[in-house]
Amino acid sequence: MCPDAIGPSPVILWFVRVTVSVPPKCMMKPWKIDSPTPLLYMDFVSTHTLLPKIKIEIRKRKEMHLPLLITISVIAIALAYKLYQRLRFKLPPGPRAWPVVGNLYDIKPVRFRCYAEWAQAYGPIISVWFGSTLNVIVSNSELAREVLKENDQQLADRHRSRSAAKFSRDGQDLIWADYGPHYVKVRKVCTLELFSPKRLEALRPIREDEVTAMVESILNDCTNPGADSKGKSLLVKKYVGPVAFNNITRLAFGKRFVNSEGIMDEQGQEFRAIVANGLKLGASLAMAEHIPWLRWMFPLEEEAFAKHGARRDRLTRAIMEEHTLARHKGGGAKQHFVDALLTLQDKYDLSEDTIIGLLWDMITAGMDTTVISVEWAMAELIRNPRVQQKAQEELDRVIGLERVMSETDISSLPYLQSVAKEALRLHPPTPLMLPHRANANVKIGGYDIPKGSNVHVNVWAVARDPAVWKDPNEFRPERFLEEDVDMKGHDFRLLPFGAGRRICPGAQLGINLVTSMLGHLLHHFCWTPAEGVKPEEIDMLENPGLVAFMRTPLQARATPRLPSHLYKRVAVDI
């Protein structure tokens, strides 16, 4: 816990004064002065010769004991501070925290699974210490409601690591902004302008172009005559990834950096390098982030961050200028986010940093999440051939075998929608959402959450809680036909997009894209495991990280099931 979050204790202040200024008596050896003279007489006779000697002796002893004293004082302060916190706050229970590092070394790499295990032992609300920072994790739907509804406003800040602070210019974007007037303003821009139903509809052709391009490329790779590819297994991510990448770059920047031959242009390569470098820089500080006084050992690579920021700004400005020029040349504003933000800049008083920050937020938040959702859904569909077949029967019944699916069909495909929902229930791409930070002292589940603590909702554990889900680990989309469960923040049993003030603004876009990708993959192909792998042998564990990719990327075999003329990309130029 950072001290300013809770406020200095008078006990600690007293302790610091007493322990650091003079060594305690018990730690000093008795004075030994080489003179048999009684002290009184000594004062009288040779004050001017003995006094300096005594002073030197005192200084020497003080110096000798100083490191030891500092160590003891630090430990004592830490203990007193902990005790003070314990007495002042009733914190949630949790695993025993070690001095300095807290629970950092006990946390297993796949955090949400580790927290779920701890929740079994300590209860649905637990304290986990990252160094000196208190993290509270809640793992059931009632507590999720308390966090995301009843105390939503007090728990709507973000913890910005040093790298997040650098990337976001101290929260001038949306993702890393604390809750306040700036956040309210940019959130309004997102809700009313960027993710409005009208704009989502206007950008639909881009999504359909990319999804049909995926189908074409899968067909090429699984049937290409001559190549030894027939019946060969495909790496599913290789086909789903480009849909998400191209969709997001076109939506945000109006750019498809990759041509129809799959070659990426120079700007695209620069874009990719910036994304990769951002990930590298972001990860490099992780440990030191949680132990403030250790940070001097891990100085922020100021120069590397400055270079990264300048590179990102240069590319984004160049793209912004291209769009401004195109608008001035005529043809009016396009629908891409960059155009929307530039034309709304004055209306909403948006700084250039905010525009750049928002554009990159969409890239960061909107790319991996959709890929992860589709990859897990496909793994479940391959493990559950019954579900796959049922979804295909629905697609054949509603769409037939003579045309391809469109997003407008989704409303007539309830089983397909349930498949997407069930995949997001069992495999939320951000299993701990993004941490929220308390901007005031609050109470959750009867426990104190002091200002400055981070609060995580383990949406993965909530969605598998046997108290609210029947057969929670079973992939059974029918459950959503039997009971309509909202997944956009109204039902606290299912929260893949979060809920409340900070709910994902791209939720509808994400749902559309994921459902459309799944629909196309199932309508056009039958999917079976890679050769020699049984469905039940597919590795269903996750990679560590903020987002939960499959630990072993999914390999599968695709067999076409529609007439060959339906596998062509439907390219659009918007």
In whole angstroms, give the CA distance from residue 187 to residue 425: 26
* Binding of residue 370 to ligand HEM (CB under 6 A): yes
Alpha helix locations (H) across 89-110? Answer: none
How many CA atoms, within 13 angstroms, populate the side-chain half-sphere of residue 541? Answer: 9
Burial per residue of 164-174, b for 16 or more beta-carbon CB atoms within 10 angstroms, e otherwise: bbbbbeebbbb
At 175, list the tokens. Answer: 């993702």
Task: Map the footprint of ligand HEM across residues 475-514, applying CB under 6 A.
Answer: 496-498, 502-506, 509-510, 514
Rounded least distance, CB 213 to ligand HEM, Å: 18
Rounded least distance, CB 367 to ligand HEM, Å: 8
* Closest to 235 measured CA to CA, from 383, 58, 371: 371
- Given the complex with ligand HEM, which of 103 and 369 has the nearer CB atom? 369
Coil, helix or strand for 258?
strand
Q: Residue 62's Cα: distance from chain center in Å?
A: 49
Task: Map the footprint of ligand HEM across residues 170-209, applying CB under 6 A.
Answer: 174-175
* Closest to 520 measured CA to CA, from 233, 231, 240: 240
- Given the complex with ligand HEM, which of 174 and 243 has the nearer CB atom? 174
Rounded least distance, CB 395 to ligand HEM, Å: 21
* Whether the Cβ atoms of residue 520 and residue 414 lie closer than 8 Å to each other: no
Residue 439 DSSP label: S
Task: Map the footprint of ligand HEM across residues 6-25, applying CB under 6 A.
Answer: none
**504 appears as a binding residue in the annotation:** yes
* Binding of residue 433 to ligand HEM (CB under 6 A): yes
* Binding of residue 369 to ligand HEM (CB under 6 A): yes
In whole angstroms, give the CA distance from residue 61 to residue 84: 32
Residues 6+ apart with CB under 8 A from 167: 176, 278, 282, 309, 360
Task: Map the footprint of ligand HEM across residues 30-89, applying CB under 6 A.
Answer: none
Coil, helix or strand for 354?
helix
Rounded least distance, CB 168 to ligand HEM, Å: 10
* Closest to 343 measured CA to CA, from 326, 360, 357: 326
Rounded least distance, CB 183 to ligand HEM, Å: 7
- Given the complex with ligand HEM, which of 282 and 510 has the nearer CB atom? 510
Rounded least distance, CB 573 to ligand HEM, Å: 21
Select the span of 62-70, 103-111, 197-205, 425-433 touching ligand HEM (CB under 6 A). Answer: 425-433
In whole angstroms, give the CA distance from residue 442 to residue 444: 7
- Given the complex with ligand HEM, which of 413 and 459 has the nearer CB atom? 459
Cα-based distances in Å from 26 to 30, 68, 421:
9, 14, 68
* Whether the Cβ atoms of residue 235 and residue 555 lie closer than 8 Å to each other: yes
In whole angstroms, give the CA distance from residue 498 to residue 150: 14
Rounded least distance, CB 97 to ligand HEM, Å: 25
The correct pick among 124, 268, 429, 529 for binding ligand HEM (CB under 6 A) is 429
Rounded least distance, CB 178 to ligand HEM, Å: 10
- Given the complex with ligand HEM, which of 6 and 499 has the nearer CB atom? 499
Rounded least distance, CB 455 to ligand HEM, Å: 10
Amino acid identity for residue 307 in this structure: K
* Binding of residue 431 to ligand HEM (CB under 6 A): no
Rounded least distance, CB 131 to ligand HEM, Å: 22
Burial per residue of 63-92, b for 16 or more beta-carbon CB atoms within 10 angstroms, e otherwise: eeeeeebeeeeeeebeebbeebbeeebebb
- Given the complex with ligand HEM, which of 6 and 424 has the nearer CB atom? 424
- Given the complex with ligand HEM, which of 365 and 404 has the nearer CB atom? 365
* Binding of residue 146 to ligand HEM (CB under 6 A): no
Task: Map the footprint of ligand HEM across residues 511-530, applying CB under 6 A.
Answer: 514
- Given the complex with ligand HEM, which of 175 and 281 has the nearer CB atom? 175
The residue at minimum Cβ distance from ligand HEM is: 506
At 178, list the tokens. Answer: 């604390």
Task: Map the footprint of ligand HEM across residues 347-366, applying CB under 6 A.
Answer: 361-362, 365-366
At 120, list the tokens. Answer: 């079994």
- Given the complex with ligand HEM, which of 100 and 165 has the nearer CB atom? 165
* Binding of residue 335 to ligand HEM (CB under 6 A): no
Select the span of 54-62, 287-295, 367-375, 390-398 touching ligand HEM (CB under 6 A). Answer: 367-375
Residue 256 sits at the vertex; the CA angle it makes with 251 and 262, to the nearest 5 degrees, is: 140
Q: How many residues bind ligand HEM (CB under 6 A)?
A: 24
- Given the complex with ligand HEM, which of 164 and 333 has the nearer CB atom? 164
* Whether the Cβ atoms of residue 107 and residue 39 lie closer than 8 Å to each other: no
Terminal Cα-to-Cα distance of the chain (whole angstroms): 50
Amino acid identity for residue 460 in this structure: W
- Given the complex with ligand HEM, which of 239 and 460 has the nearer CB atom? 460
Rounded least distance, CB 497 to ligand HEM, Å: 5
Residues 6+ apart with CB under 8 A from 405: 395, 399, 516, 519, 520, 523
Angle between helices 352-366 and 181-188 (to 10 degrees): 70
* Binding of residue 268 to ligand HEM (CB under 6 A): no
Rounded least distance, CB 96 to ligand HEM, Å: 29
- Given the complex with ligand HEM, which of 336 and 523 has the nearer CB atom? 336
Amino acid identity for residue 363 in this structure: I
Query: Over the Cα atoms of the chain, what is R_g?
Result: 30
Q: Which residues are at the interface with ligand HEM (CB under 6 A)?
A: 174-175, 361-362, 365-366, 369-370, 373, 429-430, 433-434, 496-498, 502-506, 509-510, 514
Question: Residue ranges for the binding site?
Answer: 504
Question: Residue ranges for the binding site for heme?
Answer: 504
